[in-house]
Structure 1
Amino acid sequence: MYRISYAEIINDSSTEMREQERLALDHAIELLTRAEEQGPNSDEAVQAVLYLQKLWGFLIKDLSDPGNELAEALRGNLISIGLWVIKEADQIMQQKSKSFSGLIDVTRSIRDGLA
């Protein structure tokens, strides 16, 4: 008979969630890179910014959940980063900024940290 412990199931679930987060961040990087190539007034820019804001909205909500098992300090830092990303994306949408490089760099760093 095959026995799986609860801890193994939770660990597998956590691994799957981390992989999904990594894929979502990869997609954001792809969109941001295309937006950078096409410029801040392009349809690609709008698509990238909206996706990024939606993604970080979801991540911030998850990080704010009391059931989130990450260390409190790490959660706070990630929430701060997420709020910065949303603010920077707003700056692009409001045509107060034209650079996607900071958003791309931060998103890559967060994605790489999930490895």
Structure 2
Amino acid sequence: MYQARYDDIMNDGADSAKERERSLFDQSIMMLEAARDEDSYSYKSIEAVHFTSRLWVIVIEDLGSPENGLPPQLRASLISIGIFILKELEAIRQGTSTDYDGIIEITRTIRDGI
């Protein structure tokens, strides 16, 4: 009886964590879409780049953790994607790129895979 409840709680915990992850990616996507048509030095752009960068730094750190349960090859691939996104965000921040659409598309794909 207790084991069944514990299993339910653990499953709810994993489901809740996935939902929080999806929600954070959704927030990032919405912010990037709002910033896409703005100047790279606008408040919306700065906020979107900062939020998305922080999100991906956290994701990369989690993927690099030994406690992460994903297969090593998948973790490595996602870390590579995250590093690419961070580089693209830095280019946007510096005003040398405006490729919000590429970041949005990749982020959607990752979000949909959660």
Which piece of structure 1 moves more, 8-17 or 22-31?
Answer: 8-17
User: 1:2 Cα deviation (Å)?
Assistant: 6.4
Question: What residue in structure 2 maps to residue 19 of structure 1?
Answer: 19
Give me the identity figure in percent: 39
Structure 1 partner of 2:79: 79
1:69–1:3 CA distance, 2 compared to 1 (3 A): closer
Q: What TM-score, normalized by structure 2, do the two folds share?
A: 0.92
Gaps of 5+ in 2: none
Q: Does 1:44 align with 2:23?
A: no
* Other-structure match for 2:103: 103
1:53, 1:89 within 8 Å by CA — same for their partners in 2? yes
Partners of 1:85 and 1:99 lie apart in 2 by 10
| Runs of 4+ off more than 6 Å | none
Distance in 2 separating the partners of 1:18 and 1:46:
27
Q: Which residue identity is paired with 2:22?
A: R
Aligned-partner Cα distance in 2 for 1:70–1:103: 23
For the 8 Å contact 1:40–1:99, the answer to whether it is kept is: no
CA contact (8 A) 2:88 2:99 kept: no
Separation of aligned partners in 2, 1:10 and 1:2: 12
User: Secondary structure of the residue that 1:38 maps to in structure 2?
Assistant: coil
8 Å contact kept, 1:36–1:100: yes
TM-score under structure 1 normalisation?
Answer: 0.91
1:31 has 2:10 as partner: no
Contact kept, 8 Å, 1:25 with 1:108, in 2: the verdict is yes
* 1:13–1:79 CA distance, 2 compared to 1 (3 A): same
Amino acid at match of 2:77: N
- For the aligned residue pairs, the C-alpha RMSD in angstroms reads 1.6
